Structure formats: C-alpha cells, structure tokens
Amino acid sequence: MTTSLRSNPTDLPPIPSACLPRPLDAVAAIRDVANDRFSMRSAVGIRRYEPRQMIFEQSQPCRHIFEIIEGTVKLTIALPDGRRQILAVLGPGDLLGLPLGQQHNTSAIAISDVRVKQIARSVFDASLLLQSRAAAQLQKLFLKMQDMIVSLGRRSATERIASYILETAKSGNSDAATPNQPTWSFTLALSQTDLADHLGLTLETVSRELTKLKNHKIIRMSGRNHLEVLDPSGLSEFADNVSHPQTAPNCGTTNEAPEPVFVGRRRRAAR
C-alpha cells in the first residue's frame, strides 16, 4: 500500500494578506511623485536679493549653502562695538555659507542685484562634487587671508589701496596691459566706505590715497565707482613700494601702518 505525497490545496496554510498583490493606487502613486518633486525643489531653489540685503547673518544656524549665479556679495564680521571687517568679496561661481560649524561665522550681504542657488545642508553633505569645490574655495580664501594679515600688519595705506586696485584690475582683465591696451577700466565692487572696512583704514584715508593716485596720473575715476588704471606699471610701483621709502608719522587708525615718504624714483605729480 502506498501513500500519496501530494497535499490537498485546501490543506495549505493561508497566505498573509500583506503578501497578497494589491491593485495599483494611481492617486497614491501620483501623490508620491509630487512629494518627491516638492522635496527636490525645497532642497535646491533660486533666491534673489537686492543691494544691501542680508543673505544670511552671523551666528545664524547654517542650514543652507548658497552658490552665486550672478552679482557680488561681501562677507563681513561684526565686532561687539559695532565695527566691522569685510573679509572677502565673492562673485558668480563662488559658494556662500560653507558649513565650518553649526552657525555662520560671517554675514553675507548683497552688493549688487544677486541671484543665488540655495542648497540644503543635507544635499551639500551628500555631494562629493560640492565638497570638492568648497575645499578648493577655502584654500583660495586661506591664501587671501594670509595676504590680508600681511597687508593689515605691515603695509602702508598707500600700498593697501594700490594693491587692492591692482588685484581687482587683474582679476577683471585676463591679459596684462600692453602698448595696444595701455589701460584697465573696471567698476569697483566696494564703495569707499566698504573699502575702508576691508583694508582697515578710515574713510578719510581712503579718499586721500585715491586722490594721491589721481594726482600722480596713475588712475582716473568717473561716476561713483568706475575706475581706469592709466599707468599699470606705476600702480605696481606704489603697491610694491619699490622706492625704498623713509617712514613718517601717519594719522590713521590704530591698525594703519606708517605712511611712507617716497624719496626715490616715483611718478611725477600732475601738472
């Protein structure tokens, strides 16, 4: 006598309801897709700011990173007594609000009309490309901070102004001045007040030094901030202090270096 190994289908245990196929819920599927798109829009968005408008403030929680699409932005640090230091001026392609901590250590203020891409901190933390760009930018800013330390500690007011103009002119002109193009023409992003805060000078000193460069036929200014470098080599001499100056007392702020009295080769004053 043999026993059949086949089981009656009715003897099988019931399949759990969670494992049974369910009909497609079209409404739920559309809702999920919409939610995913909304999440992406909230993670990366476009923001616009007017001149002097705050993008983020010092000590605010660092929840977003910003990529400048157009316009210029200044990074500032405010002191308890109300004074401020402008650390850098950033433009298209630069990143703002890099997460060095849980809070922003600077304020970002629009200089011109600005358009930025706002990126959620979580998106930045998951993006190796954004982190690589941030590392390269921080390295460039570190080198600028080194130069700023030397400038504030050792350079005279004349050298600071001339160096800033020279660096700004070169950054906006890919080619050096030549006999066919003997001058540089550009618009300063910073006002004279901002320039004083950036270079650690008083507004009066900035005005005096710009006048000195104009009288020596080194620069020419028109409008509010439009500047033309008439003599790039002469500007470089002022920036590098090649005339072996003797020092004389200077009535600037406490962090202004002594004003040099140029006694060697120097450009002739305006006739």
pTM over 0.85: no
Map out the domains of the chain as residue ranges: 42-150, 155-261
Q: Do domains 42-150 and 155-261 have the same CATH topology?
A: no
pLDDT of res. 115: 96
The domain made up of 155-261 has a fold known as: Arc Repressor Mutant, subunit A (1.10.10)
Which numeric CATH code is attached to 42-150? 2.60.120.10
Q: Where would I find the beta strands (DSSP E) of the chain? A: 44-49, 54-56, 64-70, 73-78, 84-90, 95-96, 107-110, 114-120, 184-187, 219-222, 226-229, 246-248, 259-261
pLDDT of res. 250: 46
For the chain, list residues with pLDDT below 50. Answer: 7, 29, 32-42, 174-180, 244-251, 253-254, 257-271
pLDDT of res. 26: 54
pLDDT of res. 243: 52
pLDDT of res. 10: 55
pLDDT of res. 197: 93
